[in-house]
Chain A
């Protein structure tokens, strides 16, 4: 479209320069252009859902085989932080939806304010995620393949700090009453839980980071006053993407945090 459109002017006498400002040359009407973009975005979101589905399948099979160990594992996650993050994302989803309305009405200053709140929420979400991750990192609650994981089957790592860590002591109390076979099984399954936990939340976190990038880009464009009643597609599609990020978390929160 970039170079071909420049050439096309000469060939399309009936097309000329009298088309609307935001209409790409290969579309006939703004409506067709908007519908195409929207359909494509929905199809893309569908691929995103399917992208996460593989991990949900892994989660489902592992949990179906070891339901009680999974609920034990979930007790190591901090429901308070998870709940706060859920609220933070829901607020950001609301402001993202409002920003679309603002763009449609051409309210640039409100649009910018809503985008900035969305960005702040996204940043807060990642900050809380950092707090959670670093606690688990220091407590050795990590995928079993890592060297400093307490679930490493060959060489379990017990961190210095863990001797005073309330989670670690709780776990010790649980596994000390088990038979050796049970203990090994419990520890490897716990490791897999944390493997799935880090994978799912990590992949979701990557999507949040991408969302932050895209929303920042939309904010720059809003700052230039690009959006208005006949050009709000970018805001609309970005908000759709952000709702998906929110939606995935809505599933992750109960599946990971609330099964204890």
Chain B
């Protein structure tokens, strides 16, 4: 899930589709590299499938040494090489996005006219470029250690297993922001557009994305409070960890402020965005408990940690990813899905998710450890509810998938160019977009000036407001002052 779904999910899948359009560009900077990155992803996925079909993988996604280098009998090398290849897929996506944002912006698309989704993808790209090579070398070192025994990580050969944890988390902590930053970008788009209000605190959201990208590199030690690193290091990492809460909270407060007195329409993507605010709220706040040294020693390696990161990784990243899919679905395929079915899927998934993971907080705080195949009898009721929740979540996600697939079959409900009333450039081309995205380069104005479009019944969607004085560009530029 981590390497194959959450990391490439929003940046590669939604980013590649939406980012050039939102930017007003014909394509990303390197279309061929883009395809190559997809082929790398397929190859990496194949490696993981081979690992599953041969001996499986019993190290978890963290591959801690020395178990992974010397003791595990499972297909570690297939998995590490798979993750290695996926890392390069991720690097190339990030590189592509970075260069696209820097070099492909058309005239008029200034940095502060970029939609917040682009800011988020940009910050993500920076992390992908600066962090992913480090996991690449960590996994390569692990593979070589396991195959040849070079003595870097394996204590039997004099190596240092904690060194692996350091190098691993130097990537893998920033990687959680590779997963969650694009999700925050999607939510910023959804909250503003479905509240029909300019996003509150545009610049602070944009800069908080960059701040998270920077902070993400200096907090990795909070995964290692019990690894034996020195007390001073622990205290410093703990303090730094709290600093990440500030830009994260800036985003959440700004989303809530955007909702305030907005003209909220509760379409399916908006329900997902609201779900993310709730789930990320819980996931983010419980992160503070884990960043606190004293409580972390108690909660380390328990189900509390499992619940925490599922709230952030699945509750925020995956829910925002699905919300993004429902948001851009009309643009991708030119069809509308059935709102009722899609909303039902969203409600069930949301309910199922909470029923699954809320009990795990309690079980974990009472001492139920991670990574065991069985649990003590006193944890039975929590696991019972988790299982029920997981089934509800599965049903909800299946219904969501059904509503999407169903929209492509049988009698299609044709989507207008702009069904949501969004002002970003991706909604100014036809649905689905023409090759090279735009027949004519669109005029660029503020991304959240919702008075620039209005509902038109005959289109069943929104259209730009009537040009004033015969020149649509003049009228638009006059009101391009929101940001």
* A interface with B by C-beta (< 8 Å): 1-2, 4, 7-8, 11-12, 25-26, 32, 35-36, 39-40, 43-44, 46-48, 50-55, 57-58, 61-62, 143-146, 153, 188-189, 191-192, 195-196, 198-199, 203
Contacts and interface: CB of A to CB of B under 8 A. Distances in A.
Interface in B126-164: 129-134, 136-138, 140-141, 144-145, 148-152, 154, 156-160, 163
B158 A146 contact: no
B151 A7 contact: no
Given A4-B27, A4-B435, A47-B91, A53 B137 contact: yes
Contacts of A39: 98-99, 102-103
B295 to A, nearest CB: 30
B132 A47 contact: yes
26 contacts: A1-B31, A4-B435, A11-B439, A26-B26, A26-B29, A32-B104, A36-B29, A40-B30, A43-B98, A44-B95, A47-B132, A51-B137, A53-B134, A54-B134, A58-B152, A143-B148, A144-B151, A144-B158, A145-B145, A145-B148, A145-B149, A146-B148, A188-B158, A192-B152, A196-B152, A203-B140
A14 to B, nearest CB: 9
Given A47-B129, A61-B160, A146 B149 contact: yes
A192 B26 contact: no
Given A26-B104, A35-B103, A40-B96, 16 more contacts: A11-B434, A26-B26, A36-B103, A40-B33, A40-B98, A48-B133, A50-B133, A51-B136, A51-B137, A54-B141, A58-B141, A144-B158, A145-B150, A191-B157, A192-B150, A196-B150
B261 interface: no
Given A47-B132, A57-B163, A189-B158, A145 B151 contact: yes
A210 to B, nearest CB: 13
A25 to B, nearest CB: 7
Contacts of B435: 4, 7-8, 11
B150 A195 contact: yes
A125 B434 CA distance: 51
Give the secondary structure class of B's interface.
helix
Contacts of B144: 199
B436 interface: yes
Contacts of B160: 61-62
B156 A62 contact: no
B71 interface: no
A153 B436 contact: no
Contact of B150 (A50, A57, A199): A199
A35 B26 CA distance: 17
Given A36-B29, A43-B95, A55 B149 contact: no
A55 B141 contact: yes
B240 interface: no
B167 interface: yes
Interface in B163-204: 163, 166-167
A25 B25 CA distance: 11
A81 to B, nearest CB: 22
The size class of the interface chain B forms with chain A is 35 or more
A52 B136 CA distance: 10
A4 B159 CA distance: 52
B152 A8 contact: no
Counting chain A CB atoms within 10 Å of each CB, the highest count among B29, B156, B160 belongs to B29
A225 B283 CA distance: 59
Given A25-B436, A46-B129, A198-B150, A58 B99 contact: no
B371 to A, nearest CB: 26
Contacts of B145: 145
A58 B149 CA distance: 14
Nearest to A14: B440
A82 B392 CA distance: 64
A79 B31 CA distance: 46
Contacts of A44: 91, 95
Given A36-B29, A54-B141, A199-B141, A191 B129 contact: no
Interface in B56-102: 91, 95-96, 98-99, 102
B436 A12 contact: yes
Interface in B3-34: 25-33
B412 to A, nearest CB: 23
Contacts of A195: 148-152, 157
Nearest to A202: B144
A177 B149 CA distance: 28
A77 B439 CA distance: 64
Contacts of B99: 36, 39-40, 43
Contacts of B95: 40, 43-44, 47
Interface in B294-308: none
A199 B158 CA distance: 16
B34 to A, nearest CB: 9
A153 B148 CA distance: 14
A26 to B, nearest CB: 4
Contacts of B163: 57-58, 61
A93 B27 CA distance: 35
